[in-house]
Structure 1
Amino acid sequence: MTSNSTAPLQTQTLVKRYGGLLATDNVSLRLTRGELHAIIGPNGAGKTTLIGQLGGELQPDSGDVFLQGECVTTLPAAERALRGLARSYQISSAFPEFTVLECVALAKQAHAGHSFDAWRALLKRTHLVDPAEHAIAQAGLSHRISQRVSDLAHGERRQLELAMVLVSQPKVLLLDEPMAGMSHQESMKVVDLLAGLKGQYTLLLVEHDMHAVFALADTISVLVNGAIIASGKPQDIRQNPEVRTAYLGDEELPE
């Protein structure tokens, strides 16, 4: 099956049920190439379930996911990654004795479908090191390139996570709460980094930090009780009475 659209990422009426709970309720999204599209919603709205279906960790009960017009609904996460759909993950405990450069070079090697054998020889392979250094620079970590993961601060580990995703040059990048657990200063640094990636990549952001969302997003979709209740430009979402009602008592939308 293919979609009539060549949108980088599109969903059509995704439904996911857990018993009597409708976690995603006929969710249809369409991302525009090069935009940053944010998904927001109160706690329990279904954001994690939706991201799981987009990334391939969860199968919808009905509906479809399309990548570049190709239906990938039944494909596992690894196959979607090879087709250009990348998802960020927390890696705080991964490879603590590896350096930043080694981790990103490994990620590049893994994306190419190679094993981790003889990983210490990776740094002699320019076809791995050159793109790794570029991704590290994009993530703002060049000054820490030789540091071990165990020596990085929390915010720097999230930057490393971003570099490990960027090194595959994804067509679509899913960012699941990249600022979770960060200080205000660390969050502002990530906002600047993501602002610099806009236009180069198509980004889908799920984030609780509303100030970051409204500073970054080209489009915002609001998920409540598994359904998209509004989708549009930040200024339209901010003024939408249904959206403001959904957040009343939870968190105020930034002015």
Structure 2
Amino acid sequence: MHTTLAEIFVSELFGTLILLLIGIGVVANELLPGTKGRGTGWMLIGWGWGFAVFTGVLVAFKSGAHLNPAVTIGIAVSGAPEYVPGIPVDTASTATYLSAQAIGAAAGALVAWLAYKPHYDLADSPRDILMTFCTDPDVRRTPWNFFSEALNTFVLVVVVLSVGPAGQASGLVKVDLGLLGALGVALLVTGIVLGLGGTTGCSINPTRDLMPRLVHAVLPIANKGSSRWDYAWVPVIGPVVGGILAGLVAPMLF
């Protein structure tokens, strides 16, 4: 069945909105004063982002739930004619995915801020406020931070591509974007965050970091401080590079 560009746009927008709403909400629950989850730790963030991905994938099943420009770009680079039946991989569909993901991420960040606004009003740590929206490493070593983001995203996208057309053609797997398919992606993200995300905070998604950082910059949040634009390119370009490399490698592996 053919899926229109409008349907792709709506599916990706709402899926990414839900992803960012829950994901940012998890970090806000851990870092902001007066929340029930304050100080719970990295396990809450790792599993919380996994659940966020699980929910976002379910919402965006019609579009194949890319929810991430690195995934969209990796699919395009892989040369697959389709990733989801009825959606050709071409310039129009790629542009639709990317624009919907950007708008959805900004909207999700805005709604998450509204959900936790009384707690943002109490916050006095500019860095904690920033990290609810986007990533910022404790150890700032730009080349290594870049490598970490590229590596983490490579792992994500190469596994995601293994369940696409290449994986199906090899008999490796049959795609299922229902509950079990969504659970697989959620566990993958949780594993990456818990195992590899301690270095940078694990963006693995250019839009997930860039658009909330932009929202942070424009919102009237007391004590928010700098949006750290000097670092912002790392969680954008790093995941793009990782996605491209995964798109080139996946056809050879599968």
TM-score (norm 2): 0.25
Task: Give the number of the structure whose residues are more often helix, by fraction.
Answer: 2
Specify which structure has the bigger relative contact order, considering alpha-carbon pairs within 8 angstroms and separated by 6 or more residues.
2
Task: Give the number of the structure whose residues are more often strand, by fraction.
Answer: 1
TM-score (norm 1): 0.25
